[in-house]
């Protein structure tokens, strides 16, 4: 029970949204506590961005409630509550102004006395690694630089609840690492973060809890460990003398499923140990030597694909 405790930073209950006859969101629930880094996963068109828009007050919802720090988000009439920040899709700015000027104007919208408070702006620009480009017009910024500027503009609001929509999608690996470090630090300082991403490994690395959305509905919400427990099958890494023939054989056997296939070997799921034993014996009978058979932790990707009922294609 959560009696006598602080309200959730974010408490979404039964939110629905229709576009014409299409259900963009159907009874979505989502709760995030302060200091929690919560992943939001789903295939393209699942409703992640629509949900983020609802939570940021950019679009209305047809049913359900959105509470932020215990207070109802009053649709579009009210302003975004203090301490709430974020961006959806690619952050957008005024191209004829510099990155710094954009931040100056946005901070002025948050607090009219903030105009010219260069120390805070400098700190934010430095935090996202944009200080060297702060005076350049946004028109010449790359997608990655705009993403960094988007994060800086969100940080200007000293967020206690932060919504990030694929914040590392346009960044190089070093930039993505820096952003992840900033996100971790914010969560460590008590900021609740909703982190939408297509990158399963990133969500697995950053988030302790996650919500998976498919066709506007939540199909899983909980910890990553809970998600793993939902998978009844074990996954094994298999390396053989002839992986192609082993794959072909696996596709014909009951109780064996190919999760992923890449240079390091084949990831297979066996329904039970009997099915696995039968497959290994069949490999031997077919003249295929088993070089490695190792039990592995299921990747979030394979779990995600299982949840969203999509076939696992071979990885490159």
Partner 1 sequence: MTGRGCMSVACVEAVKLLAQIKSRIVFAVCILAPFAFAVAIRLQNSLPEDTLFGRSVKESGFAVSLVVLGFAALWVLPALTSIVGGDVFAAEDRYGTWKTLLTRSRSRAEVFAGKIIVSLAFTALAVAALALSSMASGVLVIGGQPLIDLSGVLLPPSRALGRVALAWISMVPPTLAFTALAVLISVATRSSSAGIGLPVLIALTMQMCAFLDGPEIFRGLLITSAFSAWHGLLAEPPYYRPLVYGTLVSAAYFAGCLAIASRLLQRRDIGG
| Out of 39, 47, 91, 167, the residue judged to bind partner 1 by CB under 8 A | 91
Q: Candidates 106-114, 117-125, 223-231, 271-279 — which segment interacts with partner 1 by CB under 8 A? A: 106-114
| Out of 9, 30, 32, 59, the residue judged to bind partner 1 by CB under 8 A | 59
Strand partners, 164: 87, 195
Question: How many amino acids of this chain bind partner 1 (CB under 8 A)?
Answer: 37
| Out of 26, 38, 48, 53, the residue judged to bind partner 1 by CB under 8 A | 53
193 in Cβ contact with 165 (< 8 Å): no
Q: Is 42 in the site for partner 1 (CB under 8 A)?
A: no
Distance CA 240, CA 255 (A): 19
| Out of 133, 148, 157, 257, the residue judged to bind partner 1 by CB under 8 A | 157
Distance CA 267, CA 230 (A): 18
Q: Candidates 37-45, 71-79, 266-274, 288-296 — which segment interacts with partner 1 by CB under 8 A? A: 71-79
Closest contact distance (angstroms) between CB of 97 and partner 1 is: 6
Burial (CB count within 10 angstroms: exposed 0-12, middle 13-18, buried 19+), residue 316 = exposed
Q: Is 101 in the site for partner 1 (CB under 8 A)?
A: yes
Distance CA 54, CA 45 (A): 15
Q: Mapping DSSP to helix (H, G, I), strand (E, B) and coil, where does residue 112 land?
A: helix
Write down the H helix ranges in 10-87: 48-55
Strands 192-196 and 22-32: unpaired
Q: Is 208 in the site for partner 1 (CB under 8 A)?
A: no
| Out of 5, 20, 112, 225, the residue judged to bind partner 1 by CB under 8 A | 112
> Which residue's structure tokens are 């967020």?
159
Residues that bind partner 1 (CB under 8 A): 49, 53, 56-60, 76-80, 82, 85-97, 101, 105-106, 108-112, 115, 153, 157
């Amino acid at each position: 029970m959560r009696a006598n405790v602080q309200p959730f930073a974010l408490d979404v209950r039964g939110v629905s949204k229709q576009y014409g006859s299409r259900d963009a969101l159907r009874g979505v629930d989502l709760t995030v506590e302060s200091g929690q880094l919560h992943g939001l996963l789903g295939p393209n068109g699942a409703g992640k961005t629509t949900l983020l828009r609802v939570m940021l007050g950019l679009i209305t919802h047809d049913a359900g409630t959105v509470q932020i720090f215990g207070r109802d988000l009053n649709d579009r009439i009210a302003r975004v509550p203090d301490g709430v920040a974020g961006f959806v899709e690619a952050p957008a700015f005024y191209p004829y102004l510099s990155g710094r000027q954009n931040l100056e104007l946005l901070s002025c919208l948050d607090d009219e006395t903030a105009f010219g408070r260069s120390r805070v702006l400098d700190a934010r620009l430095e935090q996202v690694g944009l200080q060297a480009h702060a005076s350049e017009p946004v028109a010449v910024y790359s997608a990655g630089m705009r993403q960094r500027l988007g994060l800086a503009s969100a940080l200007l609001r000293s967020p206690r609840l932060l919504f990030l929509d694929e914040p590392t999608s346009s960044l190089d690996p070093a930039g993505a690492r820096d952003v992840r470090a900033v996100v971790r630090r914010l969560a460590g300082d008590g900021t609740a973060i909703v982190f939408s991403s297509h990158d399963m490994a990133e969500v697995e690395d950053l988030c302790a809890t996650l919500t998976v959305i498919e066709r506007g509905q939540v199909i899983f919400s909980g910890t990553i460990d809970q998600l793993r427990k939902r998978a009844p099958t074990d996954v094994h890494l298999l390396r053989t003398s002839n992986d192609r023939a082993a794959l072909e054989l696996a596709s014909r056997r009951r109780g064996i499923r190919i999760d992923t296939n890449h240079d390091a070997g084949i990831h297979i799921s066996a329904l039970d140990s009997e099915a696995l034993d039968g497959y290994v014996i069949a490999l031997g009978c077919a003249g295929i030597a088993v070089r490695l058979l190792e039990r592995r932790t299921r990747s979030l990707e394979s779990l995600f694909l299982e949840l969203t009922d999509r076939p696992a294609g071979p990885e490159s």
